[in-house]
Amino acid sequence: MLSLRHLNKTYANGVHASNDISLDIPTGLFGLLGPNGAGKSTLMRTIATLQEPDSGTIHLDGLDVLREPTALRRQLGYLPQDFGVYPKVSALELLDHFAILKGLVQRGERKEAVEALLHQTNLWEARKRAVASYSGGMRQRFGIAQALLGAPRLVIVDEPTAGLDPDERNRFLNLLARISEQVIVILSTHIVEDVTDLCSRMAVIGKGRVLVEGEPKAAIATLRGRIWRGAVSDAQLPELQQRFTVLSSRLVGGKPQINIYAESQPEAGFTQVEPGLEDVYFLQLRAAA
């Protein structure tokens, strides 16, 4: 279990990027969901011991992370948002190089670990190709392979699906889900669908604060019976936005279709629909705005 208690961080420019953050994160895939600027990277970097909070504590099982950052780093795999290292060497050579840096100095053991990871991340066939020639999805899977070197107990991936096509995204998320059967995986994302299907637990953060935390299904269930959907005209939209809690609007056949949060039917023509995580997300962000 990773336990965060009362983490605070204010940058020199006055931005309060972590505001009294407390979370318990068990083994499994944990989705940290929030819009750009919410404070996700700040929290990821703090947990990865790349920067210090102003106050608060972090424990990984019995380990006091802020007191013993070196011990944490030995159990950590980290895929930063801008993992920009794509030289012209092959994946096999590059991963071998990272393995040496991770302390896997014994040749046989290293070869075994590197080959197993290339298989696990489905890069074995492409292992001799230069990482520079990889697609976005392959690069992200390579990023996971390097993060998993040394069998970490905690894996942090920061906005890994941005820019991936739907196929690559699914493949990548499935890989994370498989890994998370044995380790804590924290996936930070601003894409609601990344969290809906595969994360066993999640937190929504906005403006540095935890807005909601728990199982996605449980959070969704709290909105049952209160989400109404209807097609409206462009002209009606501003007035409805004033009178009701409009959570989202999307164009269906060229016409806006909106989701409203309300205790009872807001207008004729609106029908009750099953809530989704997107409704939870937008409602929480509105409340925090």
Q: Which residues of the shown chain bind ligand ADP in the complex (CB under 6 A)?
A: 11, 13, 15, 17, 34, 36-42
Per the listing, tokens 């409206």 go with 232
Query: 182 burial class (0-12, 13-18, 19+ CB within 10 angstroms)?
Result: exposed
Q: Compare residues 1 and 15 and give the one whose CB is closer to ligand ADP.
A: 15
In the bound complex, what is the minimum distance in angstroms from residue 102's beta carbon to ligand ADP? 26
Say if residues 288 and 207 touch (Cβ distance below 8 Å).
yes
Q: Compare residues 13 and 264 and give the one whose CB is closer to ligand ADP.
A: 13
CA dist 180 and 155 (Å) reads: 9
In the bound complex, what is the minimum distance in angstroms from residue 288's beta carbon to ligand ADP? 13
In the bound complex, what is the minimum distance in angstroms from residue 139's beta carbon to ligand ADP? 20
Q: Compare residues 33 and 113 and give the one whose CB is closer to ligand ADP.
A: 33
In the bound complex, what is the minimum distance in angstroms from residue 163's beta carbon to ligand ADP? 15
In the bound complex, what is the minimum distance in angstroms from residue 157's beta carbon to ligand ADP? 12
In the bound complex, what is the minimum distance in angstroms from residue 188's beta carbon to ligand ADP? 7
Q: Compare residues 36 and 264 and give the one whose CB is closer to ligand ADP.
A: 36
In the bound complex, what is the minimum distance in angstroms from residue 54's beta carbon to ligand ADP? 13
CA dist 144 and 110 (Å) reads: 17
Q: Compare residues 33 and 184 and give the one whose CB is closer to ligand ADP.
A: 33
In the bound complex, what is the minimum distance in angstroms from residue 18's beta carbon to ligand ADP? 8
CA dist 164 and 135 (Å) reads: 9
Q: Compare residues 162 and 223 and give the one whose CB is closer to ligand ADP.
A: 162
What does the chain look like in DSSP terms, one character per residue?
A: -EEEEEEEEE-TTS-EEEEEEEEEE-SEEEEEE--TTSSHHHHHHHHTTSS--SEEEEEETTEETTT-HHHHHHTEEEE-TT-----SSBHHHHHHHHHHHTT--SHHHHHHHHHHHHHHTT-STTTTSBGGG--HHHHHHHHHHHHHTT--SEEEEESTTTT--HHHHHHHHHHHHHHTTTSEEEEEES-HHHHHTT-SEEEEEETTEEEEEE-HHHHHHTTTT-EEEEE--TTTHHHHHHHSEEEEEEEETTEEEEEEE-SS--STT-EE----HHHHHHHHHHHH-
Q: Compare residues 58 and 104 and give the one whose CB is closer to ligand ADP.
A: 58
Q: Compare residues 97 and 190 and give the one whose CB is closer to ligand ADP.
A: 190
